[in-house]
Amino acid sequence: MAFDILNWTGLIVPLLLLLALLAYSIRILREYERGVVFLLGRLWRVKGPGLVIIVPIIQQMVRIDLRTRVFDVPPQDVISRDNVSVRVNAVVYYRVLDPEKAVIQVEHFNEATSQLAQTTLRSVLGQHDLDQMLAEREKLNSDIRQILDEQTDAWGIKVSIVELKHVDLNENMVRAIARQAEAERNRRARVIDAEGEFQAAEKLAQAGQILAAQPEAMQLRYFTALQNIAGERASTIVFPLPMKLMEKLSGS
């Protein structure tokens, strides 16, 4: 009896070791995953998706997700080119195109991309005025994305989208911008009023020249004015008389 137990124990231990080796050797990679396999510390090949067999001890595998990732760039304090302090944050979308580079060329590519995005955000925005930050976001997004994409290309990473989320100003600066906007609206209103007066004066001058050149037209204006007055319910009616007629009456 004791001999049988020893035999079973001798069989179970190797069986468990074999199962453990199989569990370690067999890897299943999803469609969006790749495995960077090293053989005795040297890069061997990139495998996946599907079933991957890893030889224990002499081979190791690093699993890489190829899906697009997104992370928020923490709020950054930026001094604009016109010496205005703002607090800016953004969101970055990127994905791994080359798993081999993402593992070999950089340590912790997620953290490296995040740190690079923060420094690039401060560097690019610091070269622009506050008005440009508020009015030209599309251009700034494109500039930051292009710089990030170029610098992360050596890591096998593709930066697809960069979006500025918020440009926060302190309360004093918000009030100053509101006063500036109100002053600009008042200036435009005065300019429009002046342009309207100028155009009206031009038209009146042109009308005076036409009436002066054609006295018959002036008579028609008199008749039109009389017709308008007669149509109104007024107790007093004023008859306009031509100046030449008044001169003749006064001369006689």
- Tell me the per-residue pLDDT of 21-74, one tens digit each, with 9 for 90 and over: 777 788 889 999 999 999 998 999 999 898 888 888 889 999 999 999 999 998
Distance CA 235, CA 216 (A): 29
How much is the pTM?
A: 0.65
Residues of the chain with CATH 3.30.479.30: 69-174
Q: Which CATH superfamily is domain 69-174 in?
A: Band 7 domain (3.30.479.30)
Distance CA 175, CA 179 (A): 6
Pick the residue with more confidence: 127 or 176?
Answer: 127
**For residues 173 and 120, is the Cβ–Cβ distance under 8 A?**
no
Tell me what pLDDT residue 162 has. Answer: 94
Tell me what pLDDT residue 250 has. Answer: 55
Query: What tokens appear for 96 in the block?
Result: 């791994």
- Tell me the per-residue pLDDT of 189-225, one tens digit each, with 9 for 90 and over: 788 888 888 787 777 677 667 666 666 566 666 656 6
For residues 115-125, give the mean pLDDT. Answer: 92
CA angle 189, 192, 198 (to 5 degrees): 140
- Tell me the per-residue pLDDT of 63-94, one tens digit each, with 9 for 90 and over: 999 999 999 998 888 888 888 888 899 999 99
CB atoms within 10 A of CB 21: 13
